[in-house]
Amino acid sequence: MSIYLSPTDLEIPVYNGPMFFLLGAAVNLLLLSLLLFFLNRFFRRREAGYLREMELLEGRIKRKNEILSTMTHELRTPLAVLRTSVDLLREERPGPLNRKQRELMESASENVLRLIRFTNTILAAVKIDSSGFRLSRKPVDLRSTVRSVCREMQPWLQERGVELRYSYPNLLRKVMIDSTWIGQVLINLIHNAGKHLDRGGRIDVSVYDNESCLVVCVADNGRGIESGDKPHIFMEFYQGRDEERLDGAGLGLTIVRDVVRMHGGEVYVSSTKGVGTTLSFTLPDPGLADAEASDDLSGDAETAGRAEL
């Protein structure tokens, strides 16, 4: 038996209007949900991988800091003993030295001091990099810190034939800082300047009150910084192109930048090749400032605002 269907008997339903729109929206929503599901799973896996890598990296950094801290602590005691012994020999306590022996003692003393500065720099960098590091801030008259650091650095600069000057206003408000670490910042900046100076060079340390902050500048008339080195001078362990013969670990300016930023300030560098370099940093005033100068910091020529060492 045969069945014949005419074209009019085959009626295919056509969805139009709101029903077709809702069906298309549902399909699109389903596709979008599937896409978001797979993207979320992909990124969660990537995130888990990054977190594992970060944990491994943090563990390695922690172990590195622990090793460096242990090594430098172990070196400090023998270096202190060695420095005392060398100083006694230089003073000829055991007996007189001839010219050659004195030259050898001077060289030994210089290298012991270099190693001591190196270990102190490593320890400072490790402390700053540790998660538990905190500044101990209190109101400080910055002039006292500047004078103390300049007197500490003076013997080393004198041996190199470098002149050191410092200046500050007669009246200077106190600022909330960790004086120990700001002192370390000044030591690093003066030491960095001294390394790049020949005999007869000069370093000027200046303090200015800029209303919203105090500005400290360390300027020298040395060789200047190569333009290609400027973007990198604050990087860890970076040594400039002309520093093969200079001592240091390449951490001094990194410590300067980190400590100043912890105080809410910033570090700036200005340098002209063959003319000199000025490194300056700011110390913002948190609002406690007392504009009155202390009585013991006025009167003599030194505290009147300018001194030459």
Per-residue pLDDT 10s for the chain (309 aa) are 555 545 555 455 555 556 666 676 777 777 787 778 777 777 887 777 777 877 777 777 677 666 766 776 677 778 888 888 888 888 888 888 888 888 888 888 878 877 877 777 777 777 777 766 788 889 999 999 999 999 989 988 998 899 999 999 998 999 999 998 999 999 999 998 998 888 899 999 999 998 889 999 999 998 888 877 787 888 877 776 555 445 666 778 888 999 999 999 999 999 888 889 999 999 987 654 444 344 444 433 333 344 555
- Can you tell me which residue has the tokens 């809410």? 264
**Residue 206's pLDDT is what?**
95
Where in 194-297 does DSSP place strands (E)?
202-209, 213-220, 267-272, 276-284
**Residue 241's pLDDT is what?**
59
Cα distances (Å, whole numbers) of residue 282 to 128, 260, 261, 266, 270: 19, 7, 9, 6, 14
Show Cβ contacts of residue 13 under 8 Å, excluding neighbours closer than 6 positions: none
Cβ(298)–Cβ(306) below 8 Å: no
Q: What domains, with CATH codes, occur in the chain? A: 14-133 (1.10.287), 138-308 (3.30.565.10)
- pTM score of the predicted model: 0.65
**Residue 91's pLDDT is what?**
84
Cβ(291)–Cβ(173) below 8 Å: yes
**Residue 237's pLDDT is what?**
72
**Residue 189's pLDDT is what?**
94
**Residue 296's pLDDT is what?**
42
- Of 186, 182, 164, nearest to 174 by C-alpha is 182
